[in-house]
Structure 1
Amino acid sequence: MLTMALKVFDLSCEHDHVFEGWFSSRDSFQDQLAQGLVRCPVCHSDQITRRVSAPHLNVSHLRAGSAPRAEPAARSESVPQGRAAVAAPSGDQLARLQAEVLRQIRRIVRQTDDVGSRFADEARRMHNGEIEERPIRGQASLQECRDLVDEGISIMPIPDILDDDRLQ
């Protein structure tokens, strides 16, 4: 089994959308950023900055010679009455969970009708009751998106990573 330590950085774009980026190293992050490969998942901006984040320190080896670790039964006493203790998922479990979430989101995206550059017109026609509502996706300019929002039409950008058609 191959395991790789990943650097998890808190990132944001110039519109203050905050998101995480996972990289094999700081240099990998810098290289991808320089190539324009790091983009905001909300607005697709490539103007990305690293935010200050708390580091994860693995200090379990420092406790090896000190006081013995509390047994699970002892820890459960600190859990409020009527509540169950919850264990955090392991790294492998978390990776599987994230992969499953991405699969489900991609499945949902595939079930939408790709209307291409007609997105703004189709969304507006549905909003106005001219055509039956259905889940759609497509492309729209920033101004078209702003106009739709101003008209009270809910839209959401779909990052390329979630749209299999745009990855080809």
Structure 2
Amino acid sequence: MIVFDLCCAAGDHRFEAWFASGDSFSEQQARGLIACPVCGDSAVRKAAMAPRVGAKSNQMPAVAVKSTGAPVNGEPSPDLVRKVIAEIAVKQAEMLPQSRWVGRDFADAARAMHEGRVTEDLIHGQASPEEAQGLRDDGIAAMPLLVPIAPPDAIN
């Protein structure tokens, strides 16, 4: 496995992704299978990154941690990251029952709401990166769910 720092062209968002090999990354990139988790842009490139060379296990430096749970170097602690992700998952689970699953019709349903043809408050569903970009281009607010969910029709 290999990890690459990636960057999207639309918003210059940086993110990390794991691949079986460099060739696997190139193949997936060429097929448009890699998308920015922030904006959905599939125009993704490798970002500049420093090589990851691990220190010897008997020479690992101690990490100073602030009372907030964040290390002094500005990186959040693993415990803080787990706590934030758990809080996001709880809020998302509270919101989903208040919205309607529209499946693959998400882009059309979002446009109908934006144009006033439908008076729903919340929907959730699936959109391709191209559909998501089209919504953004038209000024229609939509964002990916931060915690993946199984579509209702895929649950046993």
- TM-score, normalised to structure 1, is 0.52
Q: Which residue of 2 aligns with 1:56?
A: 52
Alpha-carbon distance between aligned partners in 1 of 2:13 and 2:69, rounded to the nearest angstrom: 33
Alpha-carbon distance between aligned partners in 1 of 2:142 and 2:29, rounded to the nearest angstrom: 24
Unaligned ranges ≥5, structure 2: 72-76
- Superposition deviation, residue 101 in structure 1: 7.7
| Structure 1 residues 73-84: aligned runs within 5 Å | 83=67
Contact 2:5 2:16 in 1 (8 A): yes
Alpha-carbon distance between aligned partners in 1 of 2:55 and 2:5, rounded to the nearest angstrom: 22
Contact 2:6 2:14 in 1 (8 A): yes
Q: Secondary structure at the match of 1:38?
A: coil
| Structure 1 residues 1-168: aligned runs within 5 Å | 6-15=1-10, 16-61=12-57, 63=59, 83=67, 88-89=77-78, 107=93, 110-111=96-97, 112-115=99-102, 116=105, 117-125=108-116, 131=119, 134-138=121-125, 142-147=133-138, 149=139, 155-158=141-144, 162=148, 164-165=150-151
- Which structure's CA Rg is the greater one? 1
Percent same amino acid among aligned pairs? Answer: 25
Unaligned ranges ≥5, structure 1: 1-5, 64-68
Aligned length: 139
Q: Which has the higher contact order (CA 8 A, sep 6+)?
A: 2
Alpha-carbon distance between aligned partners in 2 of 1:37 and 1:166, rounded to the nearest angstrom: 24
Q: Secondary structure at the match of 1:30?
A: helix
Label 1:97 to 1:17 Cα distance change in 2 as closer, same or farther (>3 A).
same
- Superposition deviation, residue 32 in structure 1: 2.6
- Superposition deviation, residue 97 in structure 1: 7.5
Q: Which residue of 2 aligns with 1:66?
A: none
RMSD, aligned CA: 4.6
- TM-score, normalised to structure 2, is 0.55
Q: Secondary structure at the match of 2:49?
A: coil
